[in-house]
Structure 1
Amino acid sequence: MRNPYSDIFRAPGTKGFAAAAFIARLPIAMAPIGIVAMLSQTHGEYWLAGAVSATYALVNAFLSPQVSRLVDRLGQSAIAVPTTLVSVLSFAALIAAANQHWPIWTLFLAALLAAAMPSIPALVRARWTEIFRNRPELYTAFAFESAADELVYVAGASLSVGLSAALFPEAGMVVSTLLLALGSVAFLLQRSTEPPVRPAEQAATGSVIRLRPVQIITFALIFVGATFATTEVTTVAITKQLGQPEAASLVIGVYALGSFVLGIIVGALNLKAPLQRQLAVAVAVIALTTLPLLFAGTVPTLAVAVFVSGVAISPTFITAFGLIERHVPPAMLTEGVTWVTTGIGIGMALGSFAAGWMVDTFGPQSGFFVSVAAGAVALATVLAGQRRLATSDYDPDGDEAAVPAE
């Protein structure tokens, strides 16, 4: 049987930019939970740790589409280089503020400026799309990237928490910042695969968020993202309560392991069911598997429940990005893809803050109630939007592809 993944990596330059992008996006998982792990140890308050982490994630979620919109207009290198530099320097300031116990406002200011970090998942998917546009290999490439996203959460979040627990509170954030700098440089130096700047087409001069399918997917993924952050924050709190804080790294690590495996399988199968139905099934699984989390009272049962709750994450990403690619004009693809990650980022910000408040107010286990509620809202949104998400509704020459001018 032919391996579809070997086919996509035969294209020149794909191995290089895929490897560099993996390193560059590790901070997506490492930074939010790294901030929580760092500040909960240096300052001893989960609400503060969650609030600073939420500030970073929420501002990044709102800034990323604007950065990606500039990328579509001016090119990846022209925009990603300065924004990455600002982010790296700001993360360094945040680490120093936590270590030296600078005033609380400096933590929030540094987190806010660090949010200038560009969306590496969007940049790398734009490169794949440029290579395989309108070809079946693009689905496989998106599946690979979704699986890579899961590895980022397996390795990134686990590494961040593990370093902070084993070495010193700021260790996770130090490594995260170094990986962001080195990975981004390696990625952006590969100019041969950088997509060319395309002129706006078919009146596509406004923001893609005005398209109804993009709105539906983004809103749904806000609540999917909330389940991620809630699981991470609550896991850290529960394992600490059980007297096994070092186990948080392992539990968070298994969270995305099942999803990684399933994502690889889904990408190889190239399922024929309509993408909007695949998305509904994946989100339904996410919603249902949040329920066992409420009853996990030991580290082993917590690890099993967390593993099960993560199995549908990668299929959700694959179908969401696939729908975006079909509904968004090519000249605005980077922004379109970024809105998907923006939804996740907003959800992680809100979920982190909500879970932190629930943990402080009602105890560690109560944080998972946020996951249950978020999963239910995500499922309701996707089910209600099935007709508008149908890719057969997409007409490159019709209104669906035309974004109103601002």
Structure 2
Amino acid sequence: MANPYKEIFSVPGTVGFSAAGFLARLPIAMAPIGIVAMLSQTRGEYWLAGAVSATFALTNALISPQVSRLVDRYGQAAVLTPATIVSVVAFLLLIAGTNQGWPVWTLFASAFLAAAMPSIPAMLRARWSEIFRDRPELNTAFAFESAADELVYIAGASLSVGLAVALFPEAGMLISTAFLAVGSFFFLLQRGTEPRIQYVAGSKPQKSAIRLRPVQIITLALIFVGSTFATAEVSAVAITKELGQPNAASLVIGVYAIGSFVVGLVLGALNPKMALQKQLLIAVAVLALTALPLPFAGSVPLLAVAVFVSGIAISPTFITAFGLVERRVPGAMLTEGVTWVTTGIGIGMALGAFVAGWAVDNFGAQNGFWVSVAAGIGALLTISLGQRTLAGEDCDDSVCPLVQAAE
């Protein structure tokens, strides 16, 4: 049996942009927690560390789709270069301000400007879409990207905190900024795989991809999915601490990500033929179902097993969600569409962490997982109600028939 991953990387240029893109997106996981680790050690105030980190994360969630919209219009190289420079310089100012004891307002200003950091996962998926559009290999490529995203979240956060603790407070942020600069530089050198600009100069202004109903549905669903992801992390830390085994938290969280990682790779290799909207419905149904045992896992072994099982649907959900965006969004706004969905995951993680933390504080560690149950049901209802739109059968937008005709 042929290796589908070997096949997608046999195309010239794919190894180069994938390797560079992996480095460039490590700051997605490293920067938010790196800011917390850096400021909490140097300033001794967790509220300040959290507030500056939240400023970066939430501003980036709002700005990155606008950056991607410019990418669709002017091309990756033309937009990523200045956006990355602004972000790198702002991160360096944040590091310097922390080290030199600059006023608090400079930290917030630097975090705000650093949020110009582009959505590298969206740029990567846009390149794969350019190469394999309307071909089964695209599903394999998206599966690889989802697995790579899992590795970023597994390795990035741990690396950032580990460097800050083992070396000096700014170490994690320095390495994160270096990854962003070096990875983006080599990514932009891969001009042969850069997607063509499909925007027609002189045409009427292009509306935002978030106004398309399929993008709205998928983004909302992935806000719920992102919430389950963050809730698992917060609740695992709280429960293992309550059980007197705090060191087991990293093991439990790692098992959660590994389950998703493995199933995602398998799904990409199998490349099922079922309609993507049905695959997505099955994935979120499994996500909702496997969340139900989580609040009842009363020991570390049971928790590890329950978390592993609950993680198996994460990557399949991401793979099919991004595949649907590629099918339902015109090429001229694809990068922005993918970025909105990615932003939904980030917003969901932020909200999930907050709500789960509140639930743990007020109702006990075990009850944090009820947030996962509620979020899983929310994702299932969203995708269930949106099946006709995701299938292209219920479009009230003039762009939908164009997308259907291209299939």
TM-score normalised by structure 2 residue count: 0.87
Structure 1 residues 353 and 52: CA distance shift in structure 2, 3 A: farther
Name the residue aligned to 2:3. Answer: 3
Q: Distance between the aligned counterparts of 2:145 and 2:393, measured in 1?
A: 25
Name the residue aligned to 2:267. Answer: 266
Structure 1 residues 55 and 224: CA distance shift in structure 2, 3 A: farther
Q: Distance between the aligned counterparts of 2:306 and 2:94, measured in 1?
A: 33
Does the Cα contact within 8 Å between 1:73 and 1:198 map onto a contact in 2?
yes
Does the Cα contact within 8 Å between 2:330 and 2:399 map onto a contact in 1?
no
| Pairing 1:3-22 to 2, within 5 Å after superposition | 3-22=3-22
Partner deviation per Cα, 1:185-240 (whole Å, 9 max, x = no partner): 11111111111222249978211111111110011111211222333344455556
TM-score normalised by structure 1 residue count: 0.87
| Pairing 1:183-194 to 2, within 5 Å after superposition | 183-194=183-194
- Quick check: 1:368 aligned with 2:369? yes
Name the residue aligned to 2:387. Answer: 386
Name the residue aligned to 1:317. Answer: 318
Structure 2, unaligned runs of 5 or more: none
Name the residue aligned to 2:122. Answer: 122
Aligned-pair Cα RMSD in Å: 3.0
Q: Distance between the aligned counterparts of 2:44 and 2:358, measured in 1?
A: 14
| Pairing 1:8-47 to 2, within 5 Å after superposition | 8-39=8-39
Aligned length: 402
Identity %: 72
Letter in 2 for 1:132: F
Letter in 2 for 1:35: I
Does the Cα contact within 8 Å between 2:285 and 2:380 map onto a contact in 1?
yes
Name the residue aligned to 1:83. Answer: 83
Structure 1 residues 398 and 175: CA distance shift in structure 2, 3 A: closer
Q: Which of 1 and 2 has higher RCO (CA within 8 Å, sep 6+)? A: 1
Structure 1, unaligned runs of 5 or more: none
CA drift of 1:397 comes to: 8.2
Task: Identify which range, 110-119 or 36-45, moves more after superposition.
Answer: 36-45
State the secondary structure of the residue aligned to 1:222. helix
Name the residue aligned to 1:216. Answer: 217
Letter in 2 for 1:229: A
Task: Identify which range, 297-306 or 179-188, moves more after superposition.
Answer: 297-306
Q: Distance between the aligned counterparts of 2:97 and 2:239, measured in 1?
A: 27
Q: Distance between the aligned counterparts of 1:300 and 1:92, measured in 2?
A: 42
Name the residue aligned to 1:71. Answer: 71
Structure 1 residues 180 and 359: CA distance shift in structure 2, 3 A: farther
Name the residue aligned to 1:94. Answer: 94
CA drift of 1:42 comes to: 5.1
Task: Identify which range, 6-15 or 246-255, moves more after superposition.
Answer: 246-255
CA drift of 1:119 comes to: 0.7
Q: Distance between the aligned counterparts of 1:333 and 1:286, measured in 2?
A: 27
Does the Cα contact within 8 Å between 2:328 and 2:400 map onto a contact in 1?
no
CA drift of 1:23 comes to: 1.4
